[in-house]
């Protein structure tokens, strides 16, 4: 076997890993009316159950559309209406057509309304953990 032939599978594998994209998939939520009369615990349980069912539908959709080889990971559901998905760019683009999916964003596209620290005001030393001082004092 030639050296070039032995290296081909490893280089293909590395190219595939580089081509994977991490994304955040935003799912539909139950209506506010459905959750209005729930206790906090019941609301949490319903949201988690709803998102679990949506994840299952998404996994079936991925299989039905021949994307199983392109989607490497779909995170476990939580009470939040988001799933983290790792896959090829093609698969991530296709996910916006899946049932229950409202929006798909690449991980780098995610923005928050949290204020950004000015580089000049960021401390250069690590923060001091005061939790022990408070417990002892």
CATH code, domain carrying 29:
3.30.70.940
The Cα angle at residue 42 between residues 41 and 46, in degrees rounded to 5 = 120
The answer to whether residue 102 sits within a structural domain is: yes
At 66, list the tokens. Answer: 């021949």
The predicted structure's pLDDT at residue 60: 97
The answer to whether residue 70 sits within a structural domain is: yes
The answer to whether residue 56 sits within a structural domain is: yes
CA distances (Å), origin 92, targets 18, 80, 84, 133: 14, 20, 11, 47
Q: Is the pLDDT score of 125 beyond 70?
A: no
The answer to whether residue 94 sits within a structural domain is: yes
pTM of the predicted model as reported, rounded to 2 decimal places:
0.66
The predicted structure's pLDDT at residue 3: 42
Range of the domain at 71: 19-109
The answer to whether residue 4 sits within a structural domain is: no
Residues contacting 87, CB < 8 A, separation 6+: 20, 21, 23, 67, 70, 71, 72, 73, 95
The answer to whether residue 26 sits within a structural domain is: yes
Structural domain count of the chain: 1
The answer to whether residue 128 sits within a structural domain is: no
Q: Is the pLDDT score of 31 beyond 60?
A: yes
């Amino acid at each position: 076997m030639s050296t070039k032939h032995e290296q081909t599978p490893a280089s293909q594998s590395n190219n595939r890993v580089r081509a994977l994209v991490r994304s955040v998939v935003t799912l539909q939520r139950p209506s506010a009316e459905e959750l209005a009369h729930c206790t906090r615990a019941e609301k949490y349980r319903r949201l988690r159950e709803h998102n679990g069912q949506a994840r299952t539908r998404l996994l079936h959709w991925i299989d039905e559309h021949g994307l199983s080889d392109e989607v490497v990971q779909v995170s476990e559901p939580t009470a939040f209406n988001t799933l983290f998905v790792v896959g090829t760019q093609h698969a991530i683009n296709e996910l916006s057509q899946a049932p229950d999916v409202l929006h798909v964003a690449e991980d780098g596209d995610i923005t928050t309304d949290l204020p950004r620290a000015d580089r000049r005001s960021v401390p250069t030393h690590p923060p001091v953990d005061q939790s022990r001082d408070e417990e002892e004092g």
